[in-house]
Every structure is written in C-alpha cells, then in structure tokens.
Amino acid sequence: FWASVPQGPPDPILGVSEAFAKDQSSNKINVGVGAYRDENGKPYVLESVSKAEDILHQKRSNKEYLPITGEADFVKLASELAYGKDCKALQDGRIAVSQSISGTGALRIATGFLSMFYSGPRVVYLPNPTWGNHIPVVEQTGMRVARYRYFDKKTVGLDFDGMKEDIKAAEQGSIILLHACAQNPTGIDPTQDQWKELCEITKAKKHLVLFDMAYQGFASGDIIRDAFAVRYFVEQGHQILLAQSFAKNLGLYGERIGTFSMVCTNKEEKDRIQSQVKRVIRPLYSSPPLHGAQLVATILGSPELYEQWLGEVKKMADRIIAMRERLYDLLVEFKTPGEWGHIKSQIGMFSFTGLTPEQVDALKDHAHVYMTRDGRISMAGLNEGNIQYFAESVSKAVKG
C-alpha cells in the first residue's frame, strides 16, 4: 500500500530536541525548543498549577465529555484574561469563544473556519520570519500563505516600514496574522504607538486580523500589558480572530489547553458563528480534553491562585531577562566580534542571535550546543550552571 510514501522531513524545532537527546556529552545544552526551564535546567511545574491539581484531586469529579466548545467556566475566564473583564464586546456577549487544543489547535480551527466561510482573498499573511508551523496550518486547509516583512537584518530590529508597506499593498480584505506579543522567533514586538498605526492601516484596508497569542505574560512579565494589542484592536472596532495558548504562561505544554475566539458584530451573529465553529471542531476531535480546562479554570477562578500565578509568570520572565544580561556581559567579556545589544533588547522566550547556519552547525559539532539553524535561541535553556560554557562556545564559533 505505502511503497510510494516518501520520508517526511523532521520538524525544524522538535528535530533539534531529538538530536540533543541522542548526544551523550555531559555538557550538552539545548536552546532549541521554546519551553521554559528553571534555574537547574529542569522543566518547571508552577506552584499554582500543583495547588490546582490538589484541589481537583479532592473533588473527584467525573470524566464525562465536555461540550464541543469546551468547559464553560474555563472559556469565560480565559476570554476575560485575553480581552479584559471590562471589554465591551465580551460584555455584549458577541465574542464566540471555544476551548481549543492549545494555540496550534486554535489556529487550526481558525484556518478551518476561514477556508469554509471567508469570502475575501484566501490568503493569510504571515510575518517573515514566523513560527514554522504557521505555514502548514494555513496550507492544510487550502488557503495560501503570503508574507509581510518583519525583521531587519541590518538593525537586528523591526522592519516597521517594510511591514507597513506590505500590509498596505496586500489585497483589500486579506487575512493578516499578527503575533500578539513576544514574537517567535525574533523576540521583537511593535511598540504601542506602532500597534496603533497597524490598527489603523489594517482597518483602512478592511483586512481581517488573526492574533496569535502564545506568550501572554512572557513579553513584559505582566499579563495585562502583554494583551495590549489584542485589547486595543478590539476597542477600535476590529473583528479579530484570536488563538490563545496556556502552554507557556501556565507551563501546561502537554495539557494542550487554549481558546479560539472571534469577535462578532452582535449576539445573533455570534450564535450563528459559534454553530459553525462547532462544525469545524466536530470532525477534528469531537470535543476537547477535560483536565487542562479544569486546571486553568481553578487557577483563574481563585483570587489567591490567580495572584500566585501572576507572580510565577513574572518570575519566569525575570529569570529570562537576567539570562539576557548575563549572556550579553559574557559575550562582551570574551571579546566576541560583533554587536550583541539585541540580546538584551529582545523580549520573550527567544533571542534571534544573528548566528549563521554554519556557526550553528559548528556549535553542535564542536560544543554539543543545540539550536535551530536560523540562529534562534530559547533563553530559558540557559542558567547559571551552563551560561559561561554557552557564551564561550558561541564566542569561539563566531571567531571561527
């Protein structure tokens, strides 16, 4: 049956973890995948999550199926977290929200829905560069991918003029995907003033904006501040689509918990939209998983656990910032050729170092240091125990 099926390529990011796992060296370092590690390099389970686990365990609740659109308390609390409790559209009951299989699942519902119902241009504009999985998630539903400029190699910053030009030049009514905060892989976000401009431009062109919010809390350490773009666009009347993930900010990677939502013009439209979102979800997985939704609802629904969680998000963000400063200082100390200020100015989980694919290969082959070939590093993979060796190895690779 399957003689003609060719070998598929490995995921460029998860493939790095596979190669890392095979390496026997004791000083190996994985700064590939974007998953938080604590100061000992270990996966981190948040204390607020552990407490919520205990509460759920005591409850001994049943394991019935959830509704297609998910656990009601979770969906309500999660959307308040993204849009803000005082969001008018939310209060009006005109945002269609569903639980999703984390951020990826939300994006897939989005493209599934768009491919069935969107009458505008069937093209999704993605930033260049972007998270690699965006491309197949769009293409699998028969939509086309186009790109807008985002990263300026010369300044190692945002190419804001190029971004605006490309978004303006896109056919009216195009779908524009925007990373809500802590852009992956560059670690560079528009400023609040730049967001305001983007809001106007996309509105003038009647573009449909799809926000991907996978790192709320990781950009600034402040959950509310990181929701600025999403909330501002909605305030300004944009009918956005939103993919929300709790993988990073609650450390719930494997629980696969998030939401997909669409801001509608009124409640009647929301009900119609929601009935069709259910039709997108049903053939994919019938209904979503229970446990992650209960965990998140327990935390967001308890003032005490919520406060504790905010502190834990800040702690993760602060540790990453401390690593940025330390890495910068060490690269300078080792007299590494080039300018490294961007390591400190970039935000979120990642730093886009500017290392070339050849330097990345050399780091793997000679130093057992693993990262994606675009030179992106996950800052969370660094800690006091390995950063000296990491910086020294990078310095050597750059000197050639």
Q: Which residues are designated catalytic?
A: 131, 212, 248
Tell me how far apart the 2 most distant CA atoms of the chain are, in Å.
63
Between CA 14 and CA 16 the distance in angstroms is: 5
Q: How far is the CB of 70 from ligand TYF (least distance, A)?
A: 21
User: Which positions from 20 to 49 touch ligand PLP by CB under 6 A, shown as an x/- string?
Assistant: --------------x---------------
349 and 218 Cβ atoms separated by less than 8 Å: yes
Enumerate residues 133-192 that contact ligand PLP by CB under 6 A: 179, 184
CB of 127 to ligand PLP, least distance (A): 10
Reduced to 3 states, what is the DSSP secondary structure of residue 214?
A: coil
Q: Where are any strands of DSSP class E within 187-246?
A: 208-213, 241-245
Stretch that binds ligand PLP, among 1-9, 96-104, 150-158, 306-314 (CB under 6 A): 96-104
Cross-strand bridge partners of residue 157: 152
Site for ligand TYF in 31-60 (CB under 6 A): 33-34
**CB nearer to ligand TYF: pick between 108 and 270:** 108
Residue type, 216: Q
Among 131, 246, 352, 370, binds ligand TYF (CB under 6 A): 131
Asked if residues 368 and 23 have their Cβ atoms less than 8 Å apart, the reply is yes
Residue 377 contacts ligand TYF per CB under 6 A: no
Check residue 37 and report its DSSP letter: B
Selected from 158, 175, 214, 227, the binder of ligand PLP by CB under 6 A is: 214
**Helix (H, G, I), strand (E, B), or coil: what is residue 91?**
helix
| Pair of tokens at residue 351 | 């730093």
CB of residue 297 to ligand TYF, shortest distance in Å = 24
Q: Which is nearer to ligand TYF, 121 or 187 (CB)?
A: 187
Cα 160 to Cα 146, 168, 197, 328, distances in angstroms: 17, 12, 10, 25
* Between 173 and 289, CB nearer to ligand TYF: 289
Nearest Cα to Cα of residue 179 among 251, 250, 228: 228
The site for ligand PLP (CB under 6 A) is made up of 34, 102-104, 131, 179, 184, 212, 214, 245, 247, 253, 258
